Structure 1
Amino acid sequence: MRDSAGIAVTGLGVTTAIGQGKAAFAQALFAGAHRFAVMDRPGRQLGTRFAGAEIAALEAGTRLGTRELRTVSLTGQVALATLEEAWTEARLDEFDPDRIGLVVGGSNLQQRELALAHDRHRAKPRFLRPSYGMSFLDTDLCGLCTSAFGIRGFAHTVGGASASGQLAIIEAAEAVASGRVDVCVALGALMDLSYWELLGLHSMGAMAPEECADAPALACRPFDRQRAGFVFGEACGALVIERLGARPDQERTRYADLSGWSVRLDGNRNPNPSLHGETAAIRQALDRAGLTAGDIDYVNPHGTASPVGDETEVAALRACGLTHAAINATKSITGHGLTAAGAVEAIAALLQMKHGRLHPTRNLTDPIDTSLRWVRDEAVEAEVRHCLSLSMGFGGINTALCMSTGDS
């Protein structure tokens, strides 16, 4: 018996540029709909033009009043709305709040808000709002969510760069598996980039260049030979993870079991990927799940459109014997949510498993490897019993997650 048996996902919440809520998000995914444009949110311009996908409007959660929300950043508002959807679906008000945990995936989450505050108060620093003393700390998001939802088990953040969202899922699963809590929410938080982060990522060659803003709909192209780097997309995802048998009617909202997972490091500060680290994470997750590569029906890859990263990931999939599995790239539709990416893409995988359909991969006109089973121009019907989701982050972080709806 695998040691991860009995851990399931029972609630989902998602907010992205292509839609808020599971229904809108799934509809946009299957249609391949996007919202890539030149980003114009205040605090993201400094004589620059970057392509990206920004949330157009937000239907705020109901846990805080309008007056309280005035001191809450965009990251916080999106977190509250996203968490509320997952919380309501999983009926977490039925649980003892002392047995509920929260893991927030991400660090340095509210940078744009901080940059705007610096610009606004540079000439009058004594007028800085007192809430700044909390908002520059990542624990601010933990405090905001736990106070709004009455969570009293535990809460903390985990920083894994672009692997943060999936790392939060793994930490939450391990907290439930150990009996520390009965249920735990994994939140992949919105990383609100300012022009400083955009310029830094651009200068290191990770982001698509500024000229991609001339045709933003074509800028994001994971696994295509014309890829030029990632395109940012605002996003946030929440998954409720609980122990099977905790409630008699749990099957009503059970999406899938978390059958196996892995975290492996490269021992590397730099952003370059590692074939060894990625293959090690995949193999360890499969082993923990009690699965072989042949059992995997579908892979949701990291797929950022990085010139080196995509090549390395394809090599890892080949080395692990996953060329038979269907593959698509969620970032081609949503953009790269950075700290939120792993959580949002796990949600995308779960919704595809539920609906029996796989979404298309936008702009995949000339794949870097034609031997893999890409889902390209249109959504396709597919039965997915076992899925593998992958995330990688700067600093040599590799994570892999197996999700299963049935035994192999």
Structure 2
Amino acid sequence: MKNYEKPELVVTGIGVTSAIGQGKAAFASALFKGQHAFGVMQRPGRRGEASIIGAELPPLSYPNALSKRMLRTASFSGQVAMVTLQEAWDDAQLDNVDPSRIGLVVGGSNFQQRELFQTYEAYRDKMCFVPPTYGVSFMDTDLCGLCTEQFGIQGLAYTVGGASASGQVAIIQAIEAIQADRVDVCIAMGALMDISYMECQALRSLGAMGSDRYADEPAMACRPFDQSRDGFIYGESCGVVVIERADSAVRLREKPYAKLAGWDMGMDRNRNPNPSYEGEARVIRRALEKAKLLPEEIDYINPHGTGSVVGDEIEIKALQDCKLSHAYINATKSIIGHGLSAAGTVEIIATLLQMSESRLHPTRNLEEPIQLDCNWVKNESVPAIIHNTMNLSMGFGGINTAICMQKCESRI
């Protein structure tokens, strides 16, 4: 970069696929109404001896621009990735950008477990008939291959694993790729983590996934920050954001969604799934410092907020001790469930849509908050002027991330 100055970075396109709607319009409409899709999961490879509550995608609508051949051979995660990227690509008008200056970072690892499990079940007694394409499709990088071929991307492309923080880690990696002048535009994707019954059962045995308490009431099961929470509830989703230098976004007919003001990532030095107050507080403070924002300037926080018995308590303590109790807080996962590798990206998109609409979505099932002195958005959507925001994501293995965004002029 000239004079080694870091460029101002903005979000110019978004795409989202979730159980409550495909595409940003359907997603936003359901989000503000608090409409959910929780029920007993039925997808093959995810049904087992126990009935497990979650939110699964409705049948996909495929844009005509996507290759039917590639869709036929893609995994479910791959199909959802292509559909979601098409929306973000069109939104950011990337057909007009040099493909050698476009990059792609896919957040997630081991995100095709259900299909791998099904393949093993189908071929374990006849291994010699395993399709040769399995030699490519079982790898996480297959999503990079699908998307770069479909969209002609010629810059960098790779996957990053950050457990449930993967989506936000992908955004931070995309930001830093542009700052390093490796590309002018970088797409960050939180890929659909298509878990099987085995992962569901293990996460339940670990005490991370609920809900035994609401086994017969799926609509009541997902309860971030409520006294009656008993673990996260899975929800299929995928999110894509397009990030670029503000000075290269002049081609757009509309203003960018937001400026990426500050971010941070840090580790807890802990292999285990338990959260760390110190790690979370550290990235919150560093993100604020990098954004040159005081705590009182943050208007809204989209937290990790999974419904974890321990995790929610620690997250709220970190926010309170960082002097952020005044900011509005809601929990997107209460409506869509926990998308695991996709969560951080989808929740950034939820934040951008709320900034654009000057309205905050409700938090479902927040009947008895674990802390009363926080500025909760509870069971109804509320109007709010949002200038500065913070998103948090945490992952197993001690991964903590925080991103601050600032409002740009309203899009037309």
Q: TM-score range by the shorter chain?
A: over 0.9
Determine if contact 2:208/2:232 at 8 Å carries over to the other structure: yes
Classify the secondary structure of the residue corresponding to 1:213: coil
Equivalent residue pairs, number: 406
Rounded Cα–Cα distance in structure 2 between residues aligned with 1:5 and 1:305: 37
Work out the CA distance in 2 between the residues paired with 1:67 and 1:102: 22
Q: Which amino acid aligns with 1:401?
A: I
* Secondary structure of 1:318's aligned partner: helix
**1:138 alignment counterpart:** 140
Q: Report the identity percentage.
A: 58
Contact 1:50 1:212 in 2 (8 A): no
Cα distance 1:6–1:50, how it changes in 2: closer, same or farther (>3 A)? same
Q: Deviations over 1:271-312 (max 9, x none)?
A: 000000000000000000000101100000000000000000
In structure 2, runs of 5+ residues without a counterpart are: none
* 1:195-214 equivalent positions in 2, closer than 5 A: 195-210=197-212, 212-214=214-216
Q: CA deviation at 1:174?
A: 0.9
Q: Distance in 1 between matches of 2:313 and 2:7?
A: 33
Give 1:67 deviation, angstroms: 3.6
Aligned equivalents of 1:156, 1:116: Cα separation in 2: 26
Give the Cα separation in 2 of the matches to 1:145 and 1:85: 13
Once the two structures are superposed, residues 215-238 of structure 1 have per-residue CA deviations (whole angstroms, 9 ceiling, x without a partner) of 100000000000000000000000
Distance 2:6 2:324 in 1: 22
Return closer, same or farther for 1:342/1:247 CA change in 2, 3 Å cut-off. Answer: closer
Task: Tell me the CA shift for residue 63 of structure 1.
Answer: 4.2
Unaligned runs of 5+ in 1: none
Q: Which of 231, 234, 238 is equivalent to 1:232?
A: 234
Q: Which amino acid aligns with 2:398?
A: G
Distance 1:248 1:50 in 2: 48
Residue in structure 2 matched with residue 280 of structure 1 by the alignment: 282
Separation (CA, whole Å) in 2 of partners of 1:5 and 1:208: 43
Given that 2:264 and 2:284 are in contact with CA atoms closer than 8 Å, whether structure 1 keeps it comes out as: yes
CA contact (8 A) 1:100 1:154 kept: yes
The TM-score with structure 1 as length reference comes to 0.97
Query: Of residues 78, 81, 94 in structure 2, which corresponds to 1:79?
Result: 81
Aligned to 2:297: 295
Q: Deviations for 1:335-367, whole angstroms, at most 9, x for unmatched residues?
A: 000000000000000000000000000000000
Q: CA 1:324 to 1:363, structure 2 compared with 1: closer, same or farther past 3 Å?
A: same
Contact conserved, 2:211 with 2:233, CA < 8 A, in 1?
A: no
The answer to whether the aligner puts 1:348 opposite 2:350 as a matched pair is: yes
Deviation at 1:140, TM superposition (A): 0.6
Instruction: Measure the CA separation in 1 of the matches of 2:267 and 2:371.
Output: 26
Check 1:156–1:75 CA distance in 2 against 1; reply closer, same or farther (3 A cut). Answer: same
Corresponding residue number in structure 2 for 1:219: 221
CA distance, structure 2, for counterparts of residue 287 and residue 65 of structure 1: 45
The equivalent residue for 1:393 is 395
1:49–1:210 Cα contact (<8 Å) kept: no
SS at match of 2:154: coil
Trace 1:74-153 onto structure 2 (pairs within 5 A): 74-153=76-155
Report the Cα offset of residue 179 of structure 1: 1.2
Distance in 1 (alpha carbons) for counterparts of 2:320 and 2:401: 17
1:28: how far off? 0.4
1:68: which partner in 2?
70
**Change in 2 beyond 3 A, CA 1:295/1:356:** same
Query: Residues of 1 paired with 2:326 and 2:65: CA distance?
Result: 46
* Residue of structure 2 aligned with 1:306, choices 305, 308, 316: 308
Contact 2:93 2:252 in 1 (8 A): no
Alpha-carbon shift at residue 66 of structure 1 (Å): 2.9
What do residues 135-184 of structure 1 show as CA deviations (whole Å, max 9, x unaligned)?
11111110111011000001000100000000101100111122110000
1:168 maps to which residue? 170
Query: Which residue is 1:31 aligned to?
Result: 33
Deviates more, 1:390-399 or 1:128-137: 128-137
Q: Note if 1:402 corresponds to 2:404.
A: yes
Report which stretch shifted further, 128-137 or 26-35: 128-137
Among 318, 324, 331, the alignment partner of 1:316 is 318
- CA RMSD after TM alignment: 1.4
Report the Cα distance in structure 2 between the residues aligned to 1:210 and 1:75, rounded to whole angstroms: 28
Rounded to whole Å, the distance in 2 between the matches of 1:193 and 1:96 is 36
Contact 1:233–1:334 (8 Å) recurs in 2: yes
Distance 1:133 1:230 in 2: 33
CA gap 1:47/1:24 in 2 versus in 1, 3 angstroms: same
Pick closer, same or farther for the CA change 1:212–1:134 going to 2, 3 Å: farther
For the structure 1 residues 22 and 236, does the alpha-carbon distance in structure 2 shift closer, same or farther, using more than 3 Å as the test?
same
How has the CA–CA distance of structure 1 residues 395 and 4 changed in structure 2, closer, same or farther, with 3 Å as cutoff? farther
**Alignment check: 8 A CA contact 2:268 2:279 kept:** yes
TM-score, scaled relative to structure 2:
0.96
What SS does structure 2 have at the residue aligned with 1:214? coil
Larger CA deviation: 342-351 vs 212-221:
212-221
